[in-house]
Amino acid sequence: MSRWTRAPGEYLVKYRRFTDGELLHVLTGRPEGGISDFDRSVYAALQTVKAAAIRWFVWAASFSALGILSHFKALRTVSGAGLEIAPEIFAHVALVGLSVTTAGLCFSYTKLTFLSAWFSSKLKVGTPSSKAEYLLTFPDAYWHFSYLPGAIGLPRFFIAKRGYWPQLIYLLLVIVALMGAAIGSIALWVMVMLDVLRGGVIASAVSIGTVIFSAALGLLGWCSPFYYDYPRRYGHMGLVNLLGRRQGERNAEAHRRIELVALHMGLVRD
């Protein structure tokens, strides 16, 4: 965890880098370390959001399969109750379904990463024994890489003779797979979109409207604020706020005392 620092000449304001998880602990006034009832309530909320994200993922995979079958002309005309559904309809359904499920998945992922930041902050500052306790108590709160031996650490006086190269290779393969899945989903959306625009059965105005609606919804999902729990620089102005409550001679006296203390501490040059 980083410490408070002061910029040269700015001894009234101190600065420090906080991750999203650390800032959550500061906002709630709950110090990191140990397992409390509040941690368990946050974990219950996280499990609810994760279940919703899994459902959105399943629906996204279903509409992806429908889009692939529609693109390769594997679906035929469906008739029933006097109605006849042309194969071009499935491309429209797949495109809208992909956009809706993508937006829903992104929104759920935002909530999921926000809640996970609470637990990731506890894991970063913990000892190997506390890390093992957090991972055993809240297994769904941490991503897969947190369970690698290199991320947990070892007990005191223990030395591991195995290398961590297999874990790094595994991490690289997972990253490549995730990138491939993201690129593949975008490519599939583009292919289905072109099928919708090229279809001659449905009116062009309806096809264009479907594409615009799907693109706007998908873009809204991808623009959802994701919390990656990386450190940002924040300033603390508590002393300045305290001085702002003083007026007249009391304010001047407070500033003189602060300048005198700063001079003795070497925070300013005389």
Tell me: the pLDDT tens digits for 194-231? 989 887 778 888 889 999 999 999 899 888 888 778 88
pTM given for the model: 0.78
- Token pair in block for residue 77: 């005309």
Q: Share the mean pLDDT of the chain.
A: 83
Residue 241 has pLDDT above 60, yes or no: no
**Integer Cα distance of 174 and 179 in angstroms:** 9
The answer to whether 206 and 86 have CB atoms below 8 angstroms apart is no
Instruction: Give the residue with greater pLDDT, 235 vs 8.
Output: 235
Judged by average pLDDT, the poorest of 43-57, 81-95, 133-147, 243-257 is 243-257
Instruction: Kindly indicate the confidence band of residue 166, based on its pLDDT and cuts at 50, 70 and 90.
Output: confident
Task: Tell which residue, 108, 144, 115, has the closest CA to residue 40.
Answer: 115
Residue 91 has pLDDT above 60, yes or no: yes
Residue 101 has pLDDT above 70, yes or no: yes
Instruction: Tell me, rounded to whole angstroms, the distance of Cα 211 from its chain centroid.
Output: 28
Q: Please give the pLDDT value at position 270.
A: 41
Strands of the chain (E only): list them: 14-18, 78-80, 83-85, 232-236
Give the DSSP letter of residue 164.
S
Q: What percent of the chain has pLDDT over 90?
A: 37
